[in-house]
Amino acid sequence: MNNLIKGIFIWLAIFGFLVIVFSFAEKPIQRELQTGVETPFSTFVELVKEGKIKEVTIKGDELIAVTKDGQIVKTVAPKGYNEIYDELLQKDVKVRVEPQSDNMWLRTLLGWLPILLFIGLWFLMLRGLGTGGGGASRAFSFGKSRAKIYINEKPQVTFKDVAGIDEVKEEVKEIIDFLKNPEKYKKLGGRPPKGILLYGEPGVGKTLLAKAIAGEANVPFISVSGSDFVEMFVGVGAARVRDLFETAKKHAPCIIFIDELDALGRARGAGIPGGGNEEREQTLNQLLVEMDGFDSSSGIVVIGATNRPDILDKALLRPGRFDRQIFVPKPDIKGRYEILKVHAKNKKLAPDVDLWVVAKATPGFTGADLENLLNEAALLAARKNKDAITMEEIEEAIDRVMIGLERKGIVITEKEKKKIALHELGHAMMTLMSENAEPLHKVTIIPRGMALGVTQQLPISDKHLYDRKELLDRILVMLGGRAAEEVFYGKDGITTGAENDLQRATDLAYRMVSLWGMSEKIGPVSVGRISNPFLGGGVEKIEISPELAREIDNEVQKILTELYEKAKRILEENKEAVLKVAEKLVEKETLTCKEVVQILESYGVEIKNRCREEDELKKEIEEKEKRQREEEKREETPKDGEEENSVNKLLSKLKIRGNRGEN
């Protein structure tokens, strides 16, 4: 677009230059006469009668005269007064008639201006479309596919670069085997899936996995985005789909990877009575036809990736098109540990860095998040001029990614600091006094992002199911901050800082009652469903009676009120100890779990949920890695029989070469 604007200005400048040149391209006499003295017409008539005029140039109504003494005078003759011309002829004045001063070239250029501008703009628009392969203009090649084809430069990514999704890798290994050895499947009459749909949350590694499949199979990789098919002109998208599959047939066996498939494969006519976008639907129809038409035995495998499988057209997901749909989940704690090891290969880590602790401290992180985390830590270490990344930079990077940047410029009074400290210690106390809560990691009152303080918990392992006790303890921890404000400052001293805590606690309580059937009074009734636009989603309430809605509200209010009162009782019983921890927190700004527990235990507080540093799961992973290394070692070492066969084969080859006279 910038080049287009630049080109327009260049053309306008050229046109303006031509106008200026032609406007001054007049005869020298004309430019010279422009300097004459304006004279009244009556004075000019007297000069003519007295015989003082030598010559006159007539340009329309304008008279430019040269007197006998060399002066130049100008005047304008009144319309219809022709006697002056007879008078000039009678006095033997030399009369010359010239066209008016407007330039013929200028008039011609101005007349052609609209046509020239139109031609120039059209030419620049064609150039703005860029050039295709071999320098050919793409102005008339809208129907060509915009796919990137990697033939000689195949993806260098392999399964060694993909971690945390072992089950998914096992699922796609047969695709790689087929691309390497298709005859093996043809003998048995089997065919591989025509299409594989990878779906999962953003950042879990769908694109990376597709590249790894191509890298392992060592076949051409044709990559295209679903939005590349969407065009303003009807029929262009369908033409691009045809061209894509024609290109794939020329390079078979190969992999076609369509990223963001939902941009192309959204359900036809969804939510629009009478139909939807004609161009997009034509493009989708063409994709369906092409996937039905090509023979999978030719070695073409289509891989699609999306975050929104719920909105895809059902025709795309039937057998014969995207036969296999594979969910790529977020990595669990073991997966995060493996991913961190992959991304740490090219990072210089200090001896104090424990990737297991990092994996444990990053629940819910995807592979992309973990890669970004280590990169942030590397940038922080470089900023501090360190030779290696230490655990300090990694913990700071975790805080930056999860909470936000540290707000060093904000000014907080000592009174506000103590209030923030007590609020955060309210959360920390509920964590330490609840058996089913996730263990406490640290408490800080350093402002980050939108938070003025943070109480960080460190889960032992990823959880996939929560029972009622665990959910109630989670709500208790959320309400601990507001409860601490009321216990230490009274009802008039509560602040706005608990807004997010109350929102999350209320939402969780509503889910327990209306979605998961965890209310004794209402029973096992679910009156909502989880919407899943990006595999996260919220709760969509369905139509229910006003009476049931009122009962749900009352039950939610009861849960929140009871837990809030419980939090206040715990804080009242340990008021002196909490105040002592608050003083230490205001002084140091950050306290670890051990430091908090040490002060509380000195006041005789009985801790129910102690700090956790190590757990059995880490040992299991270490043992699993050890077994894998041993298995790899055994596979590399040939057995006795195999070793003997390999020696015999080598001797046979040497014998044959010797008979042929080869060295």
Positions annotated as catalytic residues are 424
- DSSP per-residue letters across 523-565: -S---EEE--TTSS--EEEPP--HHHHHHHHHHHHHHHHHHHH
State the maximum Cα–Cα separation within the chain, in Å, rounded to a whole number. Answer: 136
Distances (CA, A) of 80 to 83, 317, 403: 9, 90, 90
Residues 6 or more apart whose Cβ sits within 8 Å of residue 226: 258, 259, 260, 261, 262, 263, 264, 265
HEC profile for 304-326?
Answer: EEECCHHHECHHHHCCCCCCEEE
- Asked if 258 and 322 count as a contact pair (C-beta separation under 8 A), the reply is no
Please give the Cα distance from 243 to 149 (Å, whole number): 13
At residue 535, φ and ψ (nearest 5 deg) are 60, 20
CA-CA-CA-CA torsion sign (544, 546, 547, 552): positive
Please give the Cα distance from 571 to 484 (Å, whole number): 7
- DSSP per-residue letters across 209-260: HHHHHHHHHT--EEEEEGGGG--SSTTHHHHHHHHHHHHHHHT-SEEEEEES
Encode 93-122: b = buried (16+ Cβ within 10 Å), e = exposed.
Answer: beeeebeeeebeebeebeeeeeeeeeebee
Residues 6 or more apart whose Cβ sits within 8 Å of residue 501: 427, 478, 479, 481, 482
Please give the Cα distance from 65 to 44 (Å, whole number): 9
Residues 6 or more apart whose Cβ sits within 8 Å of residue 77: 41, 61, 62, 63, 84
- Asked if 174 and 192 count as a contact pair (C-beta separation under 8 A), the reply is yes
- My answer on whether omega of the bond before 253 falls inside 30° of 0, hence cis, is yes
